[in-house]
Structure formats: C-alpha cells, structure tokens
Structure 1
Amino acid sequence: MSSTLLAKPQMRGLLGKRLRFHIFGAFAVSLGVVALYKFGVAEPRKRAYADYYKNFDATKEYEAMKQAGVFHCVRPRE
C-alpha cells in the first residue's frame, strides 16, 4: 500500500532554491548582453571614430563651413 502513495511536495526552501537558480541564470544572461554590446557596438564605434579623426583636418572643415555660410558672425576675408 505504501508504494501507491504520492511523494510529498517540497514546501520548505522552495523559494530559495528557485531564486538561486534564477539569479545565476540572470547573471549569466546579463554578462552575455554586456559582452555582445562591448564587442558588437562599442568597439566598432571607437574604431570608426579613430579612423575618422586620423585624417581629420579641422582648418579645412572650418574653411568649407565658412564658405557655405554656416557661420553668421564670420565674414569672408577679402
């Protein structure tokens, strides 16, 4: 007769056991998201900025904007 009885469900410590599992899972997922952002977004962005400013000439850009009339307070030299 004892073989037909159902086992008692675990009631004590159930919340703690499930929280431990989910906290480790959330930590692992967050580390994965951070790694994906760093190598998928931040590093390519830093490389793009470095490549842009490697050959950037501020004086040439200023003269082009001045000739285009972007600055209202700067008069072209005569």
Structure 2
Amino acid sequence: MASAVASGVKDVAAAVKDKVSSSTTGSGSSGSVPRPQLKNLTRTRIPRVAAVGVLLCAASGFGWKLLVTDRHKRAISDFYKNFDPERDYARMKASGVFKTIGQKERPEWLTEYESEIDKAIEALKQPE
C-alpha cells in the first residue's frame, strides 16, 4: 500500500512538473518564470486600490440614498399628505397636553379609541 501511495505521489509530481514546464516554455517565452517586482510595489498598486476604494464608496453612497434616504422622504411625504394639523391640535388640546389652554370635555371618539387600545394591549399581553 505504501508503494502504491508513493507511486501515486510520483505520478502527481510528474504531472505538475510537466504542467509547469509546459506553461513556462510556451510560445514566445524565454523558458523562465518572470521575476517578482521588489521595488515600488506599493507605488504601483496604489492607483488600482484607490480606484476600487472610490468605486466602493460611490456604490455604497448611492445604495444608501436609494435604500434609506429616498424611503424616508417618501414616508414623510405620505404622512403629510394625510395629516390634518387642526385635528391633531384639537386632539392634543382635548387630552391636556397644553397646560395653559383650558381643557374642553374629552370627545367621545377619543374615549372610545383609548378603550379599543386598552383592549388590544390586554389581548397582546395574554399568553396563547
């Protein structure tokens, strides 16, 4: 078994050696592996890394605008399309938010609404 493994390893090593020698001695090459760049490596990589950084920042900024800012603006505009400031003021005045303004009697709809809210809260508190 050990000899079978050893022969298998030799076969793989020979295949890798053939692959490397065929790729380095291809058409038009001098038969040697190109030398690594030892000087100014950072200087040559900075433009590419900077371009990737700028593109990544631009993409994330555009994504934030589309996914967060535009949705927020749309939600605010939808809120103010249906908002009645006079009704909101009357509700706050009736509930006693403004201490200096004399309170009127609570409207019936506000009392009914609060009782509905209390029932909903109690229903949520009860375990199933």
Q: Given the two structures, how large is their TM-score scaled by the length of structure 2?
A: 0.52
**Pair member with larger Rg:** 2
SS at the partner of 1:75? coil
The 5-angstrom pairing of residues 1-78 of structure 1 reads 8-76=35-103
Q: Given the two structures, how large is their TM-score scaled by the length of structure 1?
A: 0.80
Provide closer, same or farther for how the CA distance between residues 21 and 30 of structure 1 changes in structure 2, counting only shifts above 3 A. same
Which letter maps to 1:69?
G
CA distance in 2 between counterparts of 1:52 and 1:74 reads: 27
Tell me: higher relative CO, structure 1 or 2? Use CA pairs within 8 A at least 6 residues apart. 1
Which letter maps to 1:40?
L
Q: Structure 1 residue runs of 4+, over 3 Å off?
A: 5-9
Q: CA RMSD in A?
A: 2.2
Query: Bigger CA drift: 22-31 or 68-77?
Result: 68-77
Q: Which ranges in structure 1 are unaligned for 5 or more consecutive residues?
A: none
Q: Displacement of 1:55 after TM fit?
A: 1.5
Q: Which ranges in structure 2 are unaligned for 5 or more consecutive residues?
A: 1-29, 106-128
Across the two proteins, how many residue pairs are aligned to each other? Answer: 76
Query: Bigger CA drift: 34-43 or 14-23?
Result: 14-23
